[in-house]
Amino acid sequence: MKMQQHLADKNIALDLVRVTEAAALAAARYFGRGDKEAADEAAVEAMRIAFQGIHIRGTVVIGEGEKDHAPMLYNGEKVGFGDGPEMDVAVDPVDGTTAVAFGYNNSLAVVGLAQKGCMFNPGPSYYCKKLVVGKDAAGVIDIDAPIKDNLIKVAKAKGKPVSELKVFVLLKPRHEKLIRDIRMAGARVITHRDGDIAGAILAADPRSSVDMLVGTGGTPEAVLSCCAIKGSGAQMLTRLDPQSEEERKAIIDAGIDIDAVRGVSDIITTDQCFFAATGITEGELLNGVRYKGDFGVTHSLTVRGRTGTIRYIQAWHDRRKLSKMSSIDY
């Protein structure tokens, strides 16, 4: 029985990337065209179809897009071939629809899986505060501490001066003071319009030049990020941060503790978890979809939580053959 389970784990980790590849190829057709909804709709449809070949009994716990009134894989939808292990599923067919539509960096197609009942469901929460660092600084961060204090502790843990720290922050009006405070503390700020899943993975990866991610971003994206870094020893601390009174009331009405600090192990409570991402537009984490004649070239990563193994996969897709085999126009 254990051997069968291990084989199933391996197959899920390796096969899941096909789902994100399909979504990325479909969304990339709308790169730079100024139509966020069309890019998202194409990715959602491609992802739904690709899920049919994955041997899981999946239930969508987190379907991204609702806050933007975009088409989505809805919460409660059943995905997968209908056999294999029961899994909670979090999807973000396009993390960064604006990036795709207007030609910015760091847009990804993303999927996370966890054993049934082991994935935090944020319900009506769209936004949360986040603080992400790699394994070497996982034990020193405090989401309630001033940013300067966290920077000093992280720098010490990493054996470098604060002046050499690079901090990933989304370029949003809500972060103007945070960015000033980071710079006043002496650290460097890397800003992006979108892409805090990519930012979280970069902050957790010891090979990356990013030392930390901080700020308020999407709650669904936080869950997906935890799937990605679960096996790495990195840490993400979060607290729900509603951006409207309507969102705050909905969270309270849903019975969710709005003030709780949740780490990776609170958000994903099992090591039976998996993550896959494929680049749609160019980024520091993954290359975007590129075209070589009849081929679409994708760059992806897949992660297995139990082992922490990360695989980077480049694939060449014959778009004419794929379009003949599927209802999707690649």
How do 273-279 and 295-304 pair as beta strands? antiparallel
> Buried b / exposed e across 169-203, counting CB within 10 Å, b at 16+?
bbeeeebeebbebbeebebebbebebbbbbbbbbb
> Buried b / exposed e across 206-224, counting CB within 10 Å, b at 16+?
eebebbbbbbbbbbbbbbb
195 is in an annotated binding site: yes
Is 4 within a domain? no
Is 75 within a domain? yes
Q: Which of 269, 268, 289, 266 is nearest to 278 (CA)?
A: 289
Alpha helices in 172-214 (DSSP H): 176-184, 196-204
Q: What amino acid occupies position 233?
A: G
Q: Are 168 and 158 in contact (CB under 8 A)?
A: no
149 is in an annotated binding site: no
Is 7 within a domain? no
Among 267, 286, 302, the domain-final residue is 267
* Same-domain status, 166 and 238: yes
320 is in an annotated binding site: no
64 is in an annotated binding site: yes
% the chain with pLDDT above 90: 83
174 is in an annotated binding site: yes
Is 122 within a domain? no
pLDDT bucket at 144, cuts 50 / 70 / 90: very high
pLDDT (tens digit per residue) in 267-296: 999 999 999 999 999 999 999 999 999 999
pLDDT bucket at 219, cuts 50 / 70 / 90: very high
158 is in an annotated binding site: no
181 is in an annotated binding site: no
329 is in an annotated binding site: no
139 is in an annotated binding site: no
Is 6 within a domain? no
Q: How many domains does the chain have?
A: 2
Q: Are 81 and 56 in contact (CB under 8 A)?
A: yes
Q: How far is CA 88 from CA 1, 117, 218, 232, 308, in A?
A: 21, 7, 19, 20, 19
Write the CATH number for 71.
Answer: 3.30.540.10
What is the span of the domain harbouring residue 59?
Answer: 12-117+272-323
95 is in an annotated binding site: yes
CA geometry: angle at 75 spanning 248 and 232, to 5°?
A: 80
pLDDT (tens digit per residue) in 183-215: 999 999 999 988 899 999 999 998 999 999 999
* Same-domain status, 139 and 222: yes
196 is in an annotated binding site: yes
218 is in an annotated binding site: yes
Write the CATH number for 135.
Answer: 3.40.190.90
Partners of 119 in beta bridges: 268
* Same-domain status, 255 and 181: yes
Is 1 within a domain? no
